[in-house]
Structure 1
Amino acid sequence: MTDFQEDVHVEGVHLRKATFARVGLHDARVRAADLSGLRLSGVELVDVEISGELRNVVVNGVDIVPLVEAELNRRMPERARMRPEDPEGFAEAWAILRRLWAGTLARAATFPEARLHRSVDGEWSFIQTLRHLNFASAAWVGRMIVGDVSPWHPLDLPWDEAPGWDGVPWDREAQPSLEEVLAVRRARQAMVGQVVASLTAERLAADVTRDEPGWPRLTGFPLKECLYIVLHEEWEHRLYAERDLNALQKED
């Protein structure tokens, strides 16, 4: 290695089929990156933390994903309930999420509201996380399942790397009160709850199509997958929120 550079920021660059040899990535941070098909050989992978969607991740000849999934489910038994197969299972999963989020919101209410607008380690603030969950419910249930082609609220927040769409709000820097965001959230949760309560086996096996301009724009997409996305978003982002509340609490 002949060149040393520190604090280099690379963003919006596509390096498909690139080759890196004799490079140093010590203490590097990779965020919101597509690493599909990545091959690492002859590397030193020490003190590494990976957080994200894992599929077919082979380390030294072993697919570690089933091992990771089993361990996460062992630590959090209710996590396994987030992949239900029938209407009763979806009702149970949604009830679990409502209960867990009630505890998280009660905890957040003990913080000064200004702190709930604070980012931890460059991630969304607590309030931004709630805004994103409102967006996810609107997209995958309000638009895809209920059929409202424009279900948005001005405070909805897409993911940071979203391409942007006409008519879809995206004001990352808005500073709404917690109650303003919770008012939207209560309406969205009621919507999801109504859909879950009305599920039948036939409905759950159906596909949905939205080909109007906007997002999501999908043809023949499984209704069940729309609900899986919402369950996954609610589960994972609550864990992120609790993690960040822990960090904020240490500031006292």
Structure 2
Amino acid sequence: MNHTGLRIADVTVTDTRLQNVTVTRGVLWRVRMRGAWLGQVSIDGQIEGLTVNGVDVGPLIEAELDRRYPERVKMRPATADGFREAWDILESLWAETVDRARQLPPPLLHERVDGEWSFIQTLRHLLFATDIWVSRAVLGNPRPWHPLSLPFDEMDPDERVPWDRDAQPTLDEVLALRADRAETVRRVLTGLTDEALGADTEPVDGPGYSPAAQYPVAECLGTVLLEEWQHRLYAERDLATLRNQ
């Protein structure tokens, strides 16, 4: 049984068993469990303020992820040089991931694993992330997206913003667009100074996301780094599943 868009709030549930339940791109916020029994539970996502038996495990998780992925620390730069180094790392890691993707039959790159985006959709979403946070917020283009850009599912639909989930471009088509966006990011980072990094963007009005407002330049560029880093991990996870089918 599948439920999409289900919202449950302000409910007390007692003596209930949830078994073989999968929550994809869901939100658990201000959830309190008392006398709970959790076994064989897998949580994959952004975690804030998670307390287990009185212990805030968030910092422990962050420390372990940094230990497992030493480059992850570089994704939180505080200087212009740090942002340039982080982007170099991401380009190198993504090149390896794309090489692994090319080893699969092309149809599998459109296959979704456990309801997540396919590999091609993931790359299309990263086009959108660069469009909104670099081309739009930092460079001031109110409508920077390509027809193949794929917004995040939670964004309010807007007929003026491309949102074709069913498009089936080839890997090379999407990679060509990725190369163009990477050149845009590289151009911004090449001229970036620590002073500019500490400044705010000018509001850009237009349809879709992000809302017209001032944003710290460091926050815009940092969001792109986070998107690139995290979605590559998701892609690697799903490619491994597809290879083992």
Per the normalisation by structure 2, the TM-score is 0.95
Matched, 1:236 2:237: no
Question: Does the CA contact (< 8 Å) of 1:78 and 1:96 recur in 2?
Answer: yes
Match of 2:52 in 1: 59
Classify the secondary structure of the residue corresponding to 2:3: coil
CA distance in 2, matches of 1:162, 1:236: 19
Question: Does the CA contact (< 8 Å) of 1:57 and 1:64 recur in 2?
Answer: yes
CA distance in 2, matches of 1:39, 1:196: 43
- Over residues 101-152 of structure 1, what are the superposed CA-to-partner deviations in whole Å (9 max), with x where a residue is unaligned? 0111111112221111111122111111100111110011111001110001
1:211, distance to aligned residue in structure 2 (A): 4.4
Matched, 1:223 2:212: no
User: Which has the higher mean CA deviation after the structures are superposed, 23-32 or 143-152?
Assistant: 23-32
Matched, 1:113 2:143: no
Identity of aligned residues (%): 48
Classify the secondary structure of the residue corresponding to 1:219: coil
Question: Does the CA contact (< 8 Å) of 2:80 and 2:189 recur in 1?
Answer: yes
The structure 2 residue matched to 1:187, chosen from 180, 184, 193, is 180
CA distance in 1, matches of 2:68, 2:86: 17
The structure 2 residue matched to 1:201, chosen from 184, 194, 198, is 194
CA distance in 2, matches of 1:31, 1:107: 25
1:43, distance to aligned residue in structure 2 (A): 0.8
Match of 2:243 in 1: 249
Match of 1:3 in 2: none
Question: Does the CA contact (< 8 Å) of 1:210 and 1:216 recur in 2?
Answer: no
CA distance in 2, matches of 1:166, 1:211: 19
CA distance in 2, matches of 1:218, 1:82: 26
RMSD: 1.3
The structure 2 residue matched to 1:82, chosen from 75, 97, 109, is 75
- Over residues 224-244 of structure 1, what are the superposed CA-to-partner deviations in whole Å (9 max), with x where a residue is unaligned? 111111101100111111111
Match of 1:4 in 2: none
Matched, 1:43 2:33: no
Match of 2:122 in 1: 129
Per the normalisation by structure 1, the TM-score is 0.93
Classify the secondary structure of the residue corresponding to 1:14: coil
Q: Tell me how many residue pairs correspond in the alignment.
A: 244
Report the AA paired with residue 41 of structure 1: R
Unaligned runs of 5+ in 1: 1-6
User: Which has the higher mean CA deviation after the structures are superposed, 66-75 or 119-128?
Assistant: 119-128
Question: Does the CA contact (< 8 Å) of 2:150 and 2:162 recur in 1?
Answer: yes
Match of 2:135 in 1: 142
Report the AA paired with residue 58 of structure 2: V
CA distance in 2, matches of 1:217, 1:209: 12
